[in-house]
Amino acid sequence: MPPYRGPMLVLVVTVVLYVFGFVFLYGVIRVGVRHGIEDAEAYRPEALQRRQLTEV
Instruction: Give dist(CA 30, CA 38) in Å, integer.
Output: 12
23 occurs within a structural domain: yes
pTM over cut 0.75: no
35 occurs within a structural domain: yes
pLDDT band at 51 (very low <50, low <70, confident <90, very high): confident
Per the structure, the complete domain to which residue 29 belongs is given by 18-56
Structural domains in the chain (count): 1
pLDDT in tens, 2-49: 666 788 899 999 999 999 999 999 999 999 999 999 888 877 777 777
Is the pLDDT confidence value at 56 over 70? Answer: no
Counting Cα atoms < 13 Å in the Cβ hemisphere of 42 gives 6
Is the pLDDT confidence value at 53 over 90? Answer: no
Say if residue 22 is exposed, middle or buried (CB neighbours under 10 Å; 0-12, 13-18, 19+): exposed
pLDDT value of position 23: 97
